[in-house]
């Protein structure tokens, strides 16, 4: 069972990562691209947190009578990364809103056409 499932988390993470990657490179809509990045980021979070897990462990809050805790370091890294990911997403969306005001569209192909006309 554990032989078969030992890498299950990592495989799903890779599928999610590639889903996000595909959205970023194949979809012309800029908001969709940012959502793709968001999926990609979340998959990285899951990768780190999966690595932190110890079988039979518990959340890293020290309590008498418990000896096995999951690894707190990846938790710290990802906790701050989530907040930063929101900051970057917000900045990206703000850029999209400004692009819409300047070009009247958020479709990458349309923007390219307009740029070439100028």
Partner 1 sequence: MEYLIDIVLLGLLMITGFAIVRMRSLLAVAMLTSIYSLLSASLFVVLDAVDVALTEAAIGAGISTILLLAAVALTTDEEQAPRHTPLLPLIVVITTGAALIYGTVDMPHYGDPASPVHRHVAATYLHDTPGEIGVPNVVTSVLASYRGYDTLGEVTVIFTAGAGVLALLGYRTRRRNSRGPGNRKLVVLRVIAKLFFPLILLFALYIQFHGDYGPGGGFQAGVIFATGFILYALAFGLGNAQRVIPHRMLHIMMAVGVLIYASVGIESMLLGGKFLEYRVLAEDPVTGQHLGIMLIELGVGITVAAVMLIIYYGFVSQQRSGDM
Interface residues for partner 1 in 25-84 (CB under 8 A)?
25-29, 31-32, 35-36, 38-39, 42, 45-46, 49-55, 57-63, 68-76, 78-80, 82-84
Measured CA to CA, the distance from residue 29 to residue 34 in angstroms comes to: 9
Judged by beta carbon, residue 56 or residue 118, the one nearer partner 1 is 56
Measured CA to CA, the distance from residue 113 to residue 118 in angstroms comes to: 9
Taking the CB of residue 13, how many other CB atoms lie within 10 A of it?
Answer: 20
Judged by beta carbon, residue 82 or residue 114, the one nearer partner 1 is 82
Pairs from 67-74 (Cβ < 8 Å, separation ≥ 24) = 74/48, 74/49
Judged by beta carbon, residue 84 or residue 114, the one nearer partner 1 is 84
Q: Draw the binding track, 83-112, toward partner 1 (x: CB under 8 A; -: no contact).
A: xxxxxxxxx-xxxxxx-x----xxx-x---
Q: How far is the CB of 118 from partner 1 (least distance, A)?
A: 21
Phi first, then psi: what are they for 69, rounded to 5°?
Answer: -120, 150
């Amino acid at each position: 069972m554990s032989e078969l499932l030992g890498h299950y988390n990592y495989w799903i993470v890779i599928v999610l990562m590639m889903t996000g990657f595909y959205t970023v490179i194949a979809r012309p809509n800029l908001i969709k691209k940012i959502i793709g990045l968001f999926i990609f980021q979340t998959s990285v979070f899951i990768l780190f947190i999966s690595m932190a897990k110890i079988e039979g462990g518990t959340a890293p809050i020290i309590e008498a009578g418990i000896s096995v805790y999951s690894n707190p370091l990846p938790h710290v890294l990802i906790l701050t990364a989530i907040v930063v990911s929101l900051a970057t997403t917000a900045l990206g969306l703000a850029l999209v809103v400004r692009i819409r005001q300047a070009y009247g569209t958020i479709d990458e192909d349309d923007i390219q056409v307009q740029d070439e006309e100028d």
